[in-house]
Amino acid sequence: MQYKILSTKYNDIKFIKLKSNFIEAVVTNLGCAIVSLKTKNKNGIFTENVLGFNDIDTYIKQDKYIGVVVGRCANRIAKGEFELNGEKYKLYKNNGSNHLHGGKEGFDKKIFDFNINENSIIFSYTSENGEEGYPSRLDFTVEYAVSQNAFTVKYSGISDGTTVLNPTNHSYFNLSGGKTNILNHKLMISADKFGKIDNEGLVTGEIQDVKNTAFDFNSSKKIADCIYKSDEQLKLGNGYDHPFILKKNVNPQIELNDEGSGKFLRINTTMPCVQLYTANYLDGTLLGAHKTPLNKHFGICLETSFFPNAINNQFRNDVVLKCGERFSSTTQYIFGNI
Ligand code: BGC
Protein backbone atom coordinates (compact mmCIF):
# COMPACT_ATOMS: atom_id res chain seq x y z
CA MET A 1 0.00 0.00 0.00
CA GLN A 2 1.37 3.40 -0.94
CA TYR A 3 0.39 6.44 1.09
CA LYS A 4 0.73 10.20 1.18
CA ILE A 5 -0.13 12.57 4.03
CA LEU A 6 -1.72 15.88 2.97
CA SER A 7 -1.97 18.79 5.38
CA THR A 8 -5.07 20.88 5.93
CA LYS A 9 -5.47 24.32 7.50
CA TYR A 10 -5.74 22.56 10.88
CA ASN A 11 -2.38 21.44 12.30
CA ASP A 12 -3.69 18.24 13.81
CA ILE A 13 -6.07 17.17 11.02
CA LYS A 14 -4.74 15.50 7.87
CA PHE A 15 -6.03 13.89 4.71
CA ILE A 16 -4.22 10.62 4.01
CA LYS A 17 -4.19 9.00 0.56
CA LEU A 18 -3.94 5.20 0.53
CA LYS A 19 -3.38 3.35 -2.71
CA SER A 20 -3.16 -0.09 -4.29
CA ASN A 21 -3.24 -0.92 -8.02
CA PHE A 22 -7.03 -1.00 -7.93
CA ILE A 23 -8.08 1.18 -4.99
CA GLU A 24 -7.39 4.85 -4.24
CA ALA A 25 -8.75 5.96 -0.88
CA VAL A 26 -8.58 9.24 0.99
CA VAL A 27 -9.25 9.19 4.72
CA THR A 28 -8.89 11.74 7.50
CA ASN A 29 -8.12 11.47 11.19
CA LEU A 30 -11.15 13.68 11.91
CA GLY A 31 -13.76 11.05 12.80
CA CYS A 32 -11.79 8.50 10.72
CA ALA A 33 -13.88 9.67 7.77
CA ILE A 34 -13.55 7.85 4.47
CA VAL A 35 -13.40 10.92 2.25
CA SER A 36 -13.04 9.16 -1.07
CA LEU A 37 -12.92 5.50 -2.09
CA LYS A 38 -12.20 5.13 -5.77
CA THR A 39 -11.75 1.88 -7.66
CA LYS A 40 -10.90 1.16 -11.27
CA ASN A 41 -13.93 0.76 -13.50
CA LYS A 42 -14.04 -1.64 -16.45
CA ASN A 43 -12.16 0.94 -18.55
CA GLY A 44 -9.36 1.13 -16.01
CA ILE A 45 -10.38 4.60 -14.77
CA PHE A 46 -10.58 5.32 -11.04
CA THR A 47 -14.16 6.36 -10.19
CA GLU A 48 -15.79 7.23 -6.89
CA ASN A 49 -17.87 4.86 -4.74
CA VAL A 50 -18.75 7.04 -1.73
CA LEU A 51 -20.03 10.53 -0.89
CA GLY A 52 -17.48 12.87 0.63
CA PHE A 53 -16.23 16.44 0.94
CA ASN A 54 -13.00 18.13 -0.21
CA ASP A 55 -12.66 20.31 2.86
CA ILE A 56 -12.35 19.65 6.56
CA ASP A 57 -14.76 22.45 7.52
CA THR A 58 -17.68 20.56 6.01
CA TYR A 59 -16.71 17.47 8.06
CA ILE A 60 -16.63 19.67 11.16
CA LYS A 61 -20.10 21.08 10.57
CA GLN A 62 -22.00 18.25 8.85
CA ASP A 63 -24.56 16.35 10.89
CA LYS A 64 -25.34 13.59 8.39
CA TYR A 65 -22.38 11.41 9.45
CA ILE A 66 -21.10 11.19 5.87
CA GLY A 67 -18.16 8.76 5.73
CA VAL A 68 -17.35 8.86 9.43
CA VAL A 69 -16.97 6.29 12.18
CA VAL A 70 -19.74 6.55 14.74
CA GLY A 71 -19.47 5.61 18.40
CA ARG A 72 -19.44 4.77 21.17
CA CYS A 73 -22.83 3.42 20.09
CA ALA A 74 -24.21 3.56 16.58
CA ASN A 75 -27.91 4.30 16.06
CA ARG A 76 -30.39 5.21 18.78
CA ILE A 77 -30.46 4.54 22.49
CA ALA A 78 -34.00 4.95 23.81
CA LYS A 79 -34.48 8.13 25.84
CA GLY A 80 -30.68 8.34 26.08
CA GLU A 81 -30.76 6.04 29.08
CA PHE A 82 -29.56 2.65 30.18
CA GLU A 83 -28.66 0.69 33.26
CA LEU A 84 -25.41 -1.10 33.84
CA ASN A 85 -24.30 -2.86 37.04
CA GLY A 86 -27.23 -1.30 38.89
CA GLU A 87 -26.29 2.25 37.90
CA LYS A 88 -28.40 4.45 35.65
CA TYR A 89 -26.57 6.32 32.89
CA LYS A 90 -27.90 9.35 31.03
CA LEU A 91 -26.63 10.17 27.55
CA TYR A 92 -27.05 13.26 25.45
CA LYS A 93 -30.35 13.29 23.49
CA ASN A 94 -29.51 14.57 20.04
CA ASN A 95 -32.37 12.96 18.10
CA GLY A 96 -35.75 13.91 19.49
CA SER A 97 -36.15 12.02 22.73
CA ASN A 98 -33.31 9.60 21.90
CA HIS A 99 -29.52 9.46 21.78
CA LEU A 100 -28.08 8.97 18.26
CA HIS A 101 -24.65 7.87 17.00
CA GLY A 102 -22.64 8.65 20.14
CA GLY A 103 -24.23 11.98 21.09
CA LYS A 104 -23.46 15.66 20.72
CA GLU A 105 -19.80 15.14 19.95
CA GLY A 106 -19.37 11.46 19.13
CA PHE A 107 -16.35 9.70 17.59
CA ASP A 108 -17.30 11.32 14.25
CA LYS A 109 -16.11 14.70 15.57
CA LYS A 110 -12.98 13.51 17.40
CA ILE A 111 -9.44 13.95 16.19
CA PHE A 112 -7.68 10.59 16.19
CA ASP A 113 -3.95 9.88 16.37
CA PHE A 114 -2.67 7.66 13.59
CA ASN A 115 0.13 5.34 12.55
CA ILE A 116 0.77 4.02 9.09
CA ASN A 117 2.28 0.61 8.42
CA GLU A 118 2.84 -1.55 5.36
CA ASN A 119 -0.78 -2.30 4.51
CA SER A 120 -2.90 -0.18 6.76
CA ILE A 121 -3.47 2.95 8.77
CA ILE A 122 -4.43 2.64 12.43
CA PHE A 123 -6.34 5.47 14.10
CA SER A 124 -6.52 5.62 17.88
CA TYR A 125 -8.54 7.63 20.36
CA THR A 126 -9.12 7.48 24.10
CA SER A 127 -12.64 8.25 25.17
CA GLU A 128 -12.57 9.37 28.81
CA ASN A 129 -14.86 8.02 31.53
CA GLY A 130 -18.14 9.96 31.31
CA GLU A 131 -17.65 11.25 27.77
CA GLU A 132 -21.13 11.88 26.34
CA GLY A 133 -22.42 10.15 29.48
CA TYR A 134 -20.85 6.75 28.76
CA PRO A 135 -19.15 4.96 31.65
CA SER A 136 -15.44 3.98 31.83
CA ARG A 137 -12.39 5.03 29.91
CA LEU A 138 -12.21 3.37 26.50
CA ASP A 139 -9.16 2.92 24.29
CA PHE A 140 -10.47 2.63 20.76
CA THR A 141 -8.79 1.97 17.41
CA VAL A 142 -9.94 1.85 13.80
CA GLU A 143 -7.77 0.23 11.15
CA TYR A 144 -8.22 0.76 7.41
CA ALA A 145 -6.32 -1.69 5.23
CA VAL A 146 -6.06 -1.47 1.47
CA SER A 147 -5.23 -4.63 -0.44
CA GLN A 148 -5.70 -5.48 -4.12
CA ASN A 149 -9.51 -5.24 -4.33
CA ALA A 150 -10.56 -4.93 -0.68
CA PHE A 151 -10.90 -2.14 1.83
CA THR A 152 -10.95 -3.71 5.27
CA VAL A 153 -12.06 -1.99 8.45
CA LYS A 154 -11.17 -3.31 11.90
CA TYR A 155 -12.43 -1.84 15.15
CA SER A 156 -10.92 -2.61 18.52
CA GLY A 157 -11.76 -1.38 22.00
CA ILE A 158 -10.73 -2.05 25.57
CA SER A 159 -11.99 -0.24 28.68
CA ASP A 160 -11.02 0.13 32.33
CA GLY A 161 -14.53 -0.72 33.55
CA THR A 162 -17.78 -2.08 32.18
CA THR A 163 -19.18 -0.04 29.31
CA VAL A 164 -21.11 -0.35 26.05
CA LEU A 165 -19.61 -0.30 22.57
CA ASN A 166 -21.19 -0.58 19.13
CA PRO A 167 -19.13 1.28 16.51
CA THR A 168 -19.76 1.38 12.78
CA ASN A 169 -18.76 3.23 9.66
CA HIS A 170 -21.35 5.57 8.18
CA SER A 171 -20.20 5.80 4.55
CA TYR A 172 -22.85 6.61 1.98
CA PHE A 173 -22.07 4.37 -1.00
CA ASN A 174 -22.93 5.51 -4.49
CA LEU A 175 -21.35 3.35 -7.18
CA SER A 176 -22.36 5.76 -9.95
CA GLY A 177 -19.60 8.08 -8.80
CA GLY A 178 -22.23 10.54 -7.59
CA LYS A 179 -23.76 10.92 -11.07
CA THR A 180 -27.19 9.68 -10.03
CA ASN A 181 -29.01 8.68 -6.87
CA ILE A 182 -28.88 5.06 -5.71
CA LEU A 183 -32.44 4.04 -6.65
CA ASN A 184 -31.19 2.10 -9.68
CA HIS A 185 -28.60 0.23 -7.62
CA LYS A 186 -29.44 -3.41 -6.96
CA LEU A 187 -29.15 -4.64 -3.40
CA MET A 188 -28.78 -8.08 -1.87
CA ILE A 189 -28.84 -8.57 1.90
CA SER A 190 -28.65 -12.12 3.14
CA ALA A 191 -31.13 -11.80 6.02
CA ASP A 192 -34.42 -13.45 6.94
CA LYS A 193 -35.31 -10.98 9.66
CA PHE A 194 -35.29 -7.24 10.24
CA GLY A 195 -36.06 -4.95 13.18
CA LYS A 196 -39.18 -2.79 13.18
CA ILE A 197 -38.91 0.90 14.06
CA ASP A 198 -41.25 3.51 15.54
CA ASN A 199 -41.98 7.01 14.24
CA GLU A 200 -38.68 8.30 15.69
CA GLY A 201 -36.62 5.65 13.91
CA LEU A 202 -36.04 3.78 17.16
CA VAL A 203 -36.25 -0.01 17.02
CA THR A 204 -39.32 -1.33 18.83
CA GLY A 205 -37.55 -4.61 19.66
CA GLU A 206 -39.98 -6.47 17.42
CA ILE A 207 -38.28 -8.71 14.86
CA GLN A 208 -40.13 -9.43 11.63
CA ASP A 209 -39.67 -11.99 8.84
CA VAL A 210 -38.67 -10.35 5.56
CA LYS A 211 -40.69 -12.90 3.61
CA ASN A 212 -43.45 -11.31 1.49
CA THR A 213 -42.39 -7.81 2.53
CA ALA A 214 -40.46 -4.96 0.89
CA PHE A 215 -37.56 -6.02 3.13
CA ASP A 216 -36.73 -9.27 1.35
CA PHE A 217 -33.38 -8.63 -0.33
CA ASN A 218 -32.25 -12.27 -0.23
CA SER A 219 -32.18 -12.12 -3.99
CA SER A 220 -30.78 -8.97 -5.56
CA LYS A 221 -33.43 -6.28 -6.16
CA LYS A 222 -33.45 -2.81 -7.64
CA ILE A 223 -34.03 -0.40 -4.76
CA ALA A 224 -36.51 1.68 -6.82
CA ASP A 225 -38.71 -1.41 -7.18
CA CYS A 226 -38.97 -1.86 -3.40
CA ILE A 227 -38.71 1.50 -1.67
CA TYR A 228 -42.05 2.86 -2.93
CA LYS A 229 -44.05 -0.21 -1.91
CA SER A 230 -46.93 0.49 0.38
CA ASP A 231 -45.53 -0.57 3.74
CA GLU A 232 -46.05 0.87 7.19
CA GLN A 233 -42.36 0.37 8.09
CA LEU A 234 -41.12 2.18 4.96
CA LYS A 235 -43.48 5.03 5.81
CA LEU A 236 -42.13 5.27 9.36
CA GLY A 237 -38.52 5.27 8.11
CA ASN A 238 -39.19 7.66 5.22
CA GLY A 239 -37.51 4.89 3.21
CA TYR A 240 -35.22 2.14 4.52
CA ASP A 241 -33.75 2.90 7.94
CA HIS A 242 -33.82 -0.54 9.52
CA PRO A 243 -31.50 -3.19 10.97
CA PHE A 244 -31.29 -6.59 9.27
CA ILE A 245 -30.05 -9.68 11.09
CA LEU A 246 -27.42 -11.11 8.78
CA LYS A 247 -27.05 -14.76 7.91
CA LYS A 248 -23.65 -16.15 8.82
CA ASN A 249 -21.45 -18.37 6.68
CA VAL A 250 -22.63 -16.90 3.39
CA ASN A 251 -20.37 -14.97 1.09
CA PRO A 252 -21.03 -12.20 0.39
CA GLN A 253 -23.51 -11.25 3.09
CA ILE A 254 -24.35 -7.99 1.31
CA GLU A 255 -23.97 -6.99 -2.33
CA LEU A 256 -24.59 -3.73 -4.14
CA ASN A 257 -24.57 -3.54 -7.95
CA ASP A 258 -24.83 -0.62 -10.32
CA GLU A 259 -25.38 -1.50 -13.95
CA GLY A 260 -24.76 2.11 -15.03
CA SER A 261 -21.16 2.17 -13.82
CA GLY A 262 -20.71 -1.61 -14.13
CA LYS A 263 -19.47 -1.81 -10.52
CA PHE A 264 -20.22 -4.01 -7.54
CA LEU A 265 -19.50 -3.86 -3.83
CA ARG A 266 -19.55 -7.00 -1.68
CA ILE A 267 -19.53 -6.81 2.10
CA ASN A 268 -18.71 -9.42 4.72
CA THR A 269 -18.66 -8.71 8.41
CA THR A 270 -18.13 -10.32 11.79
CA MET A 271 -20.97 -8.15 13.15
CA PRO A 272 -24.47 -9.68 13.44
CA CYS A 273 -26.49 -6.89 11.80
CA VAL A 274 -26.49 -4.24 9.13
CA GLN A 275 -28.46 -1.00 9.33
CA LEU A 276 -29.76 -0.21 5.85
CA TYR A 277 -30.26 3.53 5.51
CA THR A 278 -31.16 4.98 2.10
CA ALA A 279 -30.19 8.59 2.89
CA ASN A 280 -33.80 9.53 3.54
CA TYR A 281 -32.82 12.72 5.35
CA LEU A 282 -30.34 14.15 2.85
CA ASP A 283 -32.06 17.28 1.57
CA GLY A 284 -29.65 18.89 -0.90
CA THR A 285 -28.24 21.48 1.52
CA LEU A 286 -24.85 19.77 1.74
CA LEU A 287 -22.76 19.87 -1.42
CA GLY A 288 -20.60 16.84 -2.23
CA ALA A 289 -17.03 16.79 -3.51
CA HIS A 290 -18.01 17.96 -7.01
CA LYS A 291 -20.44 20.57 -5.66
CA THR A 292 -23.34 18.23 -6.35
CA PRO A 293 -26.24 18.81 -3.95
CA LEU A 294 -26.61 15.71 -1.82
CA ASN A 295 -30.30 15.02 -2.21
CA LYS A 296 -32.55 12.35 -0.76
CA HIS A 297 -31.44 8.80 -1.71
CA PHE A 298 -28.10 10.06 -3.05
CA GLY A 299 -26.27 7.37 -1.12
CA ILE A 300 -26.86 4.10 0.66
CA CYS A 301 -25.43 3.35 4.10
CA LEU A 302 -24.75 -0.25 5.04
CA GLU A 303 -23.77 0.09 8.68
CA THR A 304 -22.51 -3.22 10.04
CA SER A 305 -23.11 -3.31 13.79
CA PHE A 306 -24.93 -4.87 16.72
CA PHE A 307 -28.69 -4.48 16.89
CA PRO A 308 -29.69 -0.86 17.70
CA ASN A 309 -30.61 0.09 21.27
CA ALA A 310 -29.21 -3.33 22.28
CA ILE A 311 -28.41 -2.17 25.81
CA ASN A 312 -32.17 -1.76 26.39
CA ASN A 313 -33.47 -4.81 24.55
CA GLN A 314 -32.99 -8.57 24.02
CA PHE A 315 -29.54 -8.05 22.43
CA ARG A 316 -28.12 -6.45 25.59
CA ASN A 317 -25.28 -8.92 26.10
CA ASP A 318 -23.86 -8.15 22.65
CA VAL A 319 -22.94 -4.57 23.48
CA VAL A 320 -21.72 -4.85 27.05
CA LEU A 321 -17.94 -4.63 27.16
CA LYS A 322 -16.49 -5.78 30.43
CA CYS A 323 -13.42 -4.34 32.12
CA GLY A 324 -10.23 -5.42 30.34
CA GLU A 325 -12.03 -7.49 27.67
CA ARG A 326 -11.20 -6.64 24.10
CA PHE A 327 -13.95 -5.84 21.59
CA SER A 328 -12.97 -6.40 17.99
CA SER A 329 -14.84 -6.57 14.71
CA THR A 330 -13.98 -6.64 11.03
CA THR A 331 -15.90 -5.57 7.97
CA GLN A 332 -14.53 -6.11 4.49
CA TYR A 333 -15.63 -4.13 1.44
CA ILE A 334 -14.70 -5.83 -1.82
CA PHE A 335 -15.00 -3.87 -5.03
CA GLY A 336 -15.08 -5.09 -8.61
CA ASN A 337 -16.62 -4.74 -12.04
CA ILE A 338 -19.66 -6.72 -13.14
C1 BGC B 1 -29.83 6.46 11.00
C2 BGC B 1 -30.80 7.50 10.50
C3 BGC B 1 -30.18 8.86 10.70
C4 BGC B 1 -28.87 8.90 9.98
C5 BGC B 1 -28.16 10.20 10.24
C6 BGC B 1 -28.61 6.56 10.17
O7 BGC B 1 -27.68 5.62 10.58
O8 BGC B 1 -30.36 5.16 10.96
O9 BGC B 1 -32.04 7.42 11.15
O10 BGC B 1 -31.03 9.88 10.25
O11 BGC B 1 -28.05 7.85 10.36
O12 BGC B 1 -27.37 10.54 9.20
Measure the CA dihedral 68/164/282/62, to 10°.
Answer: -50
Decide: helix, strand or coil at residue 272: coil
Q: Which of 99, 101, 170, 297 is catalytic?
A: 170
* Whether the CB of 173 sits within 6 Å of ligand 1: no
The candidate with the shortest Cα–Cα distance to 44, out of 76, 29, 63, 22, is 22
CA of 279 to the centre of ligand 1 (A): 8
Q: How confident is the model at residue 290 (pLDDT cuts 50, 70, 90)?
A: confident
**For a pocket test of ligand 1, which of 61, 101, 276 has the largest count of ligand atoms closer than 8 A to its C-beta?**
101
Q: Which of 48, 143, 255, 303 is catalytic?
A: 303
* Whether the CB of 132 sits within 6 Å of ligand 1: no
* Whether the CB of 241 sits within 6 Å of ligand 1: yes
**What pLDDT does 315 receive?**
98
**pLDDT of residue 285 exceeding 90:** yes
**pLDDT of residue 152 exceeding 90:** yes
> Which segment of 177-181, 182-186, 295-299 scores lowest on mean pLDDT?
177-181
Annotation marks residue 170 as catalytic:
yes
What angle is formed at CA 299 by the lines to CA 201 and CA 17, rounded to 5 degrees? 120
Q: Whose CA is nearest to atom 4 of ligand 1?
A: 64
Helices and strands (H and E) in the chain: how many: 4, 28
* Whether the CB of 275 sits within 6 Å of ligand 1: yes
**What pLDDT does 107 receive?**
98
Model pLDDT for residues 183-222, shown as the tens digit of each residue: 999 999 999 999 999 999 999 999 999 999 999 999 999 9
CA of 277 to the centre of ligand 1 (A): 7
Atom of ligand 1 nearest to the CA of 74: 7
pTM for this model (two decimals):
0.98
228 Cβ partners below 8 Å, 6+ apart? Answer: none
Annotation marks residue 232 as catalytic:
no
Q: How confident is the model at residue 289 (pLDDT cuts 50, 70, 90)?
A: confident
Looking at every residue in the chain, the average pLDDT score rounds to 98
Model pLDDT for residues 68-127, shown as the tens digit of each residue: 999 999 999 999 999 999 999 999 999 999 999 999 999 999 999 999 999 999 999 999
**For a pocket test of ligand 1, which of 59, 62, 65, 200 has the largest count of ligand atoms closer than 8 A to its C-beta?**
65
Q: How confident is the model at residue 160 (pLDDT cuts 50, 70, 90)?
A: very high
What angle is formed at CA 237 by the lines to CA 233 and CA 241, rounded to 5 degrees? 100
